[in-house]
Amino acid sequence: MTFNLEEKELYQNLVLAEKFLFKSPKIKFERTLIWRKQYFKNVAGIYAIFEKNKIIYIGETGNLYKRMSDITKTVNHTFRKHIGKSKFGGIKSSKKYDPEIEEMLDKYFDEELYITFIEINFGRLEIETYLIDKYQTQIINSEKKRKFKFNYDLIAEVEKCIDI
């Protein structure tokens, strides 16, 4: 048995996920257990990180609650490693930066970052890949190794038809 979705239907799902993600409330990032418990569950999802109102990172995870903890630790997440190096000139010794850089990173997270997310179990990699491809010039994500070719003319047509 073969199951095929038309390209247009696939793009509708990508566009819907994008619209829901960017219409979700921006939550001020906090590095606390109380914050994680208040907003996140042990569910899969897609998330976008903003520096104030500017998108800077897009990610996917099988566990939003755990990812929000991991992302605040240099040893656990490439986003924090990249920010430490690019914004603060950090040079990692072992798996962390010097204490001064780690302190600047903590302050940056506390003062500058916001996050939106949607819970989604199936198709996270495809949605993340699409969003990284679309917003590549605005975000710090590296391009995905598994590159899909997107038909942006068809996506533009689909976007006109979707209003949420």
Structural domains in the chain, CATH included, are 7-72+113-141 (3.40.1440.10)
For 53-81, letters b (16+ CB in 10 Å) and e give: eebbbbbbbeebeebbbebbebeebebbb
Segment 107-132 shows an average pLDDT of 94
What is residue 152's predicted lDDT score, i.e. its pLDDT? 83
Yes or no: say if 83 and 105 are a contact pair by the CB < 8 Å rule.
yes
What is residue 157's predicted lDDT score, i.e. its pLDDT? 84
What is residue 1's predicted lDDT score, i.e. its pLDDT? 40
What is residue 3's predicted lDDT score, i.e. its pLDDT? 46
**Rounded to 5 degrees, what are φ and ψ at 160?**
-65, -30
pLDDT for residue 101 is more than 50:
yes
43-79 per-position pLDDT tens digit = 999 999 999 999 999 999 999 999 999 999 988 888 9
What is residue 6's predicted lDDT score, i.e. its pLDDT? 82
d(CA 9, CA 14): 9
4-47 per-position pLDDT tens digit = 568 888 889 999 999 999 999 999 999 999 999 999 999 999 99
Q: Count other Cβ atoms within 10 Å, centred on residue 164.
A: 7
Segment 75-101 shows an average pLDDT of 85
Q: What's the pTM? A: 0.89
128-154 per-position pLDDT tens digit = 999 999 999 999 987 766 667 888 888
